[in-house]
Amino acid sequence: MSGRIDPELLRILVCPKCKGELEVRLGEDGAEASLDCSACGLAYPVEDGIPVMLIEEAKPLPPSGSSGEKGSSGGAPRA
């Protein structure tokens, strides 16, 4: 097993809490580290290429100004 999430699975997964769209966050090794929901601010971990889609296992998203592999625009923070 490659440890990568199947692209077809990524197309159909949504946040289990709010049904929002998920965005892949890559780890330092280039593998998927989490699936992030910006709508409710939760990051669902990915373990060995398997998304853990349990609300109780999700972590709060880091502040938008922190470093990450998603690629932020670096815009001004919202008030």
Report the CATH number that the domain containing residue 16 is assigned in CATH. 2.20.25.10
Is 74 contained in some domain? no
DSSP per position, 10-64: HHH---TTT----EEEE-TTSSEEEEEETTTTEEEEEETTEE---GGG-EEPPPT
71 in a structural domain: no
pLDDT band per the 50, 70, 90 thresholds, residue 33: very high
Q: What's the confidence (pLDDT) of residue 24? A: 95
Is there a domain that residue 53 lies in? Answer: yes
Query: What does the pLDDT read at residue 4?
Result: 84
Domain total for the chain? 1
pTM for this prediction: 0.75
Q: What is the pLDDT of residue 1?
A: 44
Q: Per the domain annotation, does 21 fall within a domain?
A: yes
Residue 40 lies in a domain: yes
The whole domain housing 26 covers 7-60
pLDDT band at 66 (very low <50, low <70, confident <90, very high): low
